[in-house]
Amino acid sequence: MPRSIDLIRASKLPANMMQFAAKGALSVPPEENLEILVYLARHNKIFGDTARLTLAGWDEKASLTAASDPKTTREVLDYLIAPENLRPKLLPALLENPSVGESQLAKFAISASRESIEVMLQSPRVQACLGVLRTLRSNPYLKPEDASALDKRLNSGRPEAAATPAAESQPRGERAVAAIAADPADAAPVEANAADVPDEAVHAYLAEHAPEIAAENDKPFHPVGGIVDLLGTDYFPVSENSSMTEVATSEGQALPSAAPATAAAAAPSKAFAAVPPQAGHRDNTLQKINRLDVKGRIQLAMKGNKEERSLLIRDGTKVVALAVLDAPKISDGEVEKFALQKNVLEAVLRQIPLKRRFMKNYIVVRNLVANPRTPLDLGLGLMKHLQTQDLKNISSNKEISETVRKLALKMYKQKLDSANKK
């Protein structure tokens, strides 16, 4: 007789039984119930939401048993260790379970929280996996003292020949990183640009926002939208077939595990660094930012380069994100992109129109109205500045609020009528 999970995969289970299955109420062994719930959560559009809710409240003891058991199916283990599903008490068991692939451990290490990093550093299995440790070393939430310990561990355990795979095996983003790191001259303009910004501008901003800075000075960098979104697609998990000297995608692409996985920048200025980097080690931009407190990030936002501003505009700390808009060297092109971003604080979008220079740029105005994240009152107020064709485009943009679309259509018709009368 076929198992219930097999009937569900073959779409042969009646609808009323599917409802029971999504609530974990079928009369089957606990491990099969868990397998059914994970399958529905990942593959069934009708009962997936119910299954996910059931899994979130699933018995902790049964969940721990599944997380510890090497016989638990790969799909269930992958689901349990995914950052969006992880229950912290299951993490130690999942890390030690040999059926959880090293690729999954590396993928988890990319965006692990500080609490999860502490658990990973205590895991004997993680400590034995150099490839996972290399990925963990790139996590921007890693404490400086832990980063130093990882550097020593990696330097003592990595063969020199394995540190630099062929350049052609690198993803495009990593080749750019390697090119910058190989040529220190490319980093020189960053320091020169920082020197061009007068300290008076920075001091004025710090003085104006002193109460906010004092209240949030210890708040770490946390990008709006989440760290995985910020890191981008150049981060890949460790290949289970590799010798732990490279990070690979599931499609077979590889990149040097020793290279940073985000865009590189120049070595951090002493004026900004709250914690000095290790000798001979070049921090990537994200690691550099993560070493700074709020005051340091404000200084970097106003004196740093374009890449640093593009990350700091997404800082979840409002006083830091707004400092980017006060940077003397910020360009109109940057603001045009910021105005269209969905992963910035609402305060950033509200601040842009308050600066006359930005509002003289029609593209900035248009992008703000077209941004679904722009507050309704702001979007409606800016719409009067739009040209006829842009009003038409916005009226059919399903991502934007229906209120904005209706007003855009009304204004479009009014402008057409006015033009026809002439």
Biggest CA–CA distance in the chain, Å, is: 80
Listed by start position, the domains of the chain span: 4-153, 355-422
The model's pLDDT over 117-161, given as tens digits with 9 standing for 90+, comes to 999 999 999 999 988 898 888 777 788 888 888 888 888 764 333
The model's pLDDT over 297-333, given as tens digits with 9 standing for 90+, comes to 999 999 999 999 999 999 999 999 999 999 989 999 9
Q: What is the pLDDT of residue 232?
A: 52
In angstroms, the first-to-last Cα distance of the chain is 79
Q: What is the pLDDT confidence band of residue 198, given thresholds at 50, 70 and 90?
A: low
Q: What is the pLDDT of residue 217?
A: 82
Q: What is the pLDDT of residue 140?
A: 75
Q: Beta-carbon neighbour count of residue 137 at 10 Å?
A: 21
Of 73-77, 175-179, 270-274, the poorest mean pLDDT is in: 175-179
pLDDT for 334 beyond 90? yes
